[in-house]
C-alpha cells in the first residue's frame, strides 16, 4: 500500500465567508490563514496549495484589544531616500480597512511563491456585500 499524495487536480476548493464584525484582528487572521493554507483540510501537504478561498466581509468593523488601536503603526517604504511612510491604525481603518486585514492574514502565510498563491485566494470587503454569490460560499463561525 502506498501513501496518497494529492496533486492539483485532486483538490476541490471551497469558498468560505468570515464576518469581521466585532472580531479581534489576530484571531480572525489566524482562522483565515489556516483555511487559506489548507491546514484544516485532511489532504494537507506543506508543499502543495491545498487551501480554500476566503471572503472577509465587514473589514471596517474589526477591532483590537487594549491600547493597540492608538499605538499601532503601519509602515511602508516608497523605495526612495527618506521614503518611510507611517500611518496609524485608526487612520488606516477609516481610509482603507481592507489593507489592515490583508496585511495581517498574508503576514501569517509563507513568504514564497506558494504563499503568494495562497494569498491570492483571499478577498476582503469593507461592507457586508460581496460579488461572489455564484460560488455559493459557506458562512464560517469564529468561536
pLDDT in the model for residue 53: 97
Task: Kindly report, residue by residue over 67-100, the tens digit of the pLDDT.
Answer: 999 999 999 999 999 999 999 999 999 999 999 9
CATH fold of 13-63+93-139: Ribosomal Protein L13p; Chain: A; (3.90.1180)
Which whole number is the average pLDDT over 4-20? 89
Burial (CB count <10 Å: 0-12, 13-18, 19+), residue 56: buried
Amino acid at each position: 500500500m502506498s501513501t496518497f499524495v494529492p496533486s492539483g487536480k485532486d483538490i476541490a476548493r471551497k469558498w468560505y465567508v468570515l464576518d469581521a464584525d466585532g472580531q479581534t484582528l489576530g484571531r480572525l487572521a489566524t482562522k483565515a490563514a489556516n483555511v487559506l493554507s489548507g491546514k484544516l483540510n485532511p489532504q494537507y501537504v506543506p508543499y502543495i496549495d491545498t487551501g480554500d478561498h476566503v471572503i472577509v466581509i465587514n473589514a471596517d468593523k474589526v477591532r483590537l484589544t487594549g491600547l493597540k488601536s492608538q499605538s499601532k503603526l503601519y509602515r511602508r517604504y516608497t523605495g526612495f531616500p527618506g521614503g518611510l511612510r507611517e500611518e496609524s491604525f485608526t487612520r488606516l481603518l477609516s481610509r482603507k480597512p481592507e489593507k489592515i486585514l490583508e496585511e495581517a492574514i498574508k503576514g501569517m502565510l509563507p513568504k514564497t511563491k506558494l504563499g503568494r498563491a495562497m494569498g491570492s485566494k483571499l478577498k476582503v470587503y469593507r461592507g457586508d456585500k460581496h460579488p461572489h454569490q455564484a460560488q455559493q460560499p459557506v458562512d464560517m463561525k469564529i468561536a
